[in-house]
Structure 1
C-alpha cells in the first residue's frame, strides 16, 4: 500500500508493505532506516511481547533539492517517519523514547516540531529523564496538527489507532542525536500506553517517581510564529523564523514553564 504525501509540501510516497519511502522529482533523502521489534524491546512494558517485526521506518534529512543549501545554513533538518499497523503486546505501536543529545554548536538539547500526516498520534513527553520525570504530557494529535517538544524533554511517539498507519514529519537540529540511556535504564518512559479495545489507557512505570499525567490536545504555538499551514513550505520560505529549533537558547524565556 502506498500513500502519497504531496499536500504537505513534498513529493514523497509512503510505503506500508514493506515500510519505507520513495521520493519524487527534485526531492532527495536517504534510504530509510527500519527499527525492528528486537531493537526497541528494552523500552517496552513487556519486552517479550509479540508484534510486527518492522515497527517503523525513519528517513532523516529529506528536502527538495533547491532547499538543501538554505536548510544547511540554518542548521535545520527534516525527517519523515511511518509506523506499522498492529500492536506491541498490550501496547500500541510506538517509538522507544529518547532525549536529544546536546548540540555542540548551541549547547542545548534541541527541541523537535512534529506534524502529523496520517493516522492519530500521541506525542508523550516528560520534563526530565532523571528519576523524577517532572511534568508529563500526552498530546493527542491528528492530520495537520503540530506538536512542539521543548529542549531536553524525554519523549516518544505513539500510534493511537492499531488499524491505521501513522505517518508524520518532524523538524529538528541538523546536529541531531538520540540518547536512549536513561530511558532504557528505567525500562521506558514514566508512563506506558496500553490498549483496552480501541482506547488508550496509561500505566505508571514504577521505575520513576510517582506523578501525574496530563492528557491534552495540541495548541497553536503563536509565540514561536508557527501557523496552521503545512510546516515544510513555512520553514523553507522563512527559515530564520524557525531558528528556535536549531538555536533554542535565543528564545530561552519561551521554554520556561512551557506547556505543550
Structure 2
C-alpha cells in the first residue's frame, strides 16, 4: 500500500498489490466518478492502435470534491480530480492519457488553464500549442511543443491554449491530482483526429525518446524541455499540496477559473531548460 497523504494532504492510499490499482479514500472522502479508461478507448489516439498494452489503460476519479467561492469579480467553481496510470507501454509507446484541449472562455481568446500535482511517481506532461485546434492535422501548424518533467510533490501548470497529455515512463504507478474549473467539458475530437500528440514518447535503447507523429503536416522546428517552478503568487509552492492551498486561499486561485485574474504570467511557473530540434 502506497501512502499518498504526505504529498496530497488527504487520507489517500494506492493499493499497488491490486492489478486494478484502486485508490483507498478515508475520512469521508468520496471517489467522485471513477472511470476506467479502456485500452480500446485509448487506441484511436496511439501511434500503433493495434499494439498490446495494459487494460484498463488508466483510471480517473473526477470530482473527488468540488469547491466554490465568490467575490466582487464573480463566482468561481473548482473541481478536484485524481488520475492513476500504471507503468508499462502500448507497443513501443509509453502509457499515457488520451489527451485533450480546453475550450475558449466565452468571448475570450484564452482557453481554460489547469494545474496538476504529482502525488507518486514521475510524470511527463506533453504540452502542445497549435494555431487552430479545430483544423485537420494535415492543415494546422504546431507552433510549440514542450515536454514538462515533474516528480512527486511538484506542480505542473498547464497554461491556456495548450493541448496536453500525461505520460508515465517510470517503473512505478503514476498518481496525479488536478484542480480545474468545473464550468466546461474538455475537447477530445482534435486529439483523436490526429491520433494523439505531435510527438510520441517511445522506448529507445537510451531510454524514453520522442518520435514525430507525421499525421501533423506542420511540426515545430524545436522541442522544449521544461521543469516546473514555484509560483507563490499563483498558490504553487513546494511542500504545500494544492488541495489545501486552494481551500485555504481561494482568492489566490481565481486564475484557474479566469486566467485574466492571474497576478503574473502563467508561463512563469514553467522554465524551459533546453531546446532540441524536433524529431523528424
Q: Name the counterpart of 1:93.
A: 95
Q: 2:256 matched to 1:254? A: no
Q: Name the counterpart of 2:24.
A: 22
Aligned-pair distance for 1:240?
1.1
User: Is this contact kept in 1: 2:128–2:146, CA < 8 A?
Assistant: yes
- Partners of 1:105 and 1:227 lie apart in 2 by 32
Aligned-pair distance for 1:26?
2.8
Q: TM-score of the superposition, structure 2-length normalised?
A: 0.82
- Partners of 1:56 and 1:206 lie apart in 2 by 26
- Partners of 2:181 and 2:107 lie apart in 1 by 10
CA deviation map 1:89-108 (0-9, x unaligned): 10111001110234569885
User: Is this contact kept in 1: 2:235–2:242, CA < 8 A?
Assistant: no
Root-mean-square deviation (CA, aligned residues, Å) is 2.5
1:185 to 180, 184, 193: 193
- Partners of 2:266 and 2:200 lie apart in 1 by 26
Q: 2:139 matched to 1:137? A: no
Moved more, 214-223 or 225-234: 214-223
2:226 to 216, 220, 245: 216
Runs of 4+ residues deviating >6 angstroms: none
Moved more, 34-43 or 200-209: 200-209
Aligned-pair distance for 1:25?
1.3
Which consecutive residues of structure 2, in runs of 5 or more, have no partner in the other structure? 272-280
Which consecutive residues of structure 1, in runs of 5 or more, have no partner in the other structure? none
User: Is this contact kept in 1: 2:88–2:169, CA < 8 A?
Assistant: no
- Partners of 1:41 and 1:167 lie apart in 2 by 21
Give the alignment of 1:1-260 within 5 angstroms. Answer: 2-7=1-6, 8-16=8-16, 17-63=19-65, 68=67, 74-103=76-105, 108-128=110-130, 129=133, 130=135, 131-161=140-170, 163-197=171-205, 199-208=207-216, 209-211=218-220, 212-228=222-238, 229-251=240-262, 254-255=265-266, 259=270
- Partners of 2:261 and 2:228 lie apart in 1 by 24
Q: 1:29 to 1:227 in 2, by over 3 A?
A: same
Q: 1:3 to 1:47 in 2, by over 3 A?
A: same
2:15 counterpart SS class: strand
1:38 counterpart SS class: helix
Q: 1:105 to 1:169 in 2, by over 3 A?
A: farther
Structure ranking higher in helix proportion: 1
- Partners of 1:252 and 1:135 lie apart in 2 by 24
Moved more, 124-133 or 233-242: 124-133
Q: TM-score of the superposition, structure 1-length normalised?
A: 0.88
- Partners of 1:68 and 1:105 lie apart in 2 by 25
Q: 1:147 to 1:222 in 2, by over 3 A?
A: same
CA deviation map 1:33-82 (0-9, x unaligned): 1101100111110011110111111111223xxx84659x6311110111
2:22 counterpart SS class: strand
Aligned-pair distance for 1:192?
0.8
